[in-house]
């Protein structure tokens, strides 16, 4: 069993409140869950309205497939939000 996980940090300069941030996060999390059938959640910085940290994980039987899924999900996330992707931390084990 291979587990691929990733923590992605976005910066949303235009967001002015936590309520606005929650709308952005909910949209991105829901779209990602439905398209890729992976576990996705906001994992850090919930009280900072301009910083969004989202984690996701997938389970597969090949390392190459996990790497491919993570890259596809990252591209999808980047294309489906106006927030700037700052960092990504990828683990496959």
CATH number at residue 34: 3.30.70.1120
Q: How far is CA 82 from CA 33, 37, 48, 62, in A?
A: 18, 22, 17, 32
Count CB-CB contacts under 10 A for residue 17.
Answer: 9
Range(s) of the domain holding residue 31: 2-92
Question: Is the pLDDT reported for residue 11 higher than 90?
Answer: yes
Indicate the number of domains in the chain: 1
pTM, full prediction: 0.90
27-79 pLDDT, tens digit per residue, is 999 999 999 999 999 999 899 999 999 999 999 999 999 999 999 999 999 99
Give SS3 for 56: strand
pLDDT score of 77: 96
Q: How would you classify the pairing of strands 39-44 and 51-60?
A: antiparallel
């Amino acid at each position: 069993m291979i587990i691929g996980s990733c923590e992605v940090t976005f910066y949303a300069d235009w967001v002015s409140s936590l309520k606005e941030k929650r709308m952005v996060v909910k949209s991105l999390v829901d779209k990602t869950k439905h398209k890729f059938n992976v576990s996705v959640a906001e994992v850090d910085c919930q009280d900072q309205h301009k910083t969004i940290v989202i984690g996701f994980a997938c389970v597969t039987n090949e390392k190459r497939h996990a790497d491919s899924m993570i890259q596809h999900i990252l591209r999808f996330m980047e294309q489906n939000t106006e927030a700037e992707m700052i960092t990504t931390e990828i683990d496959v084990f």
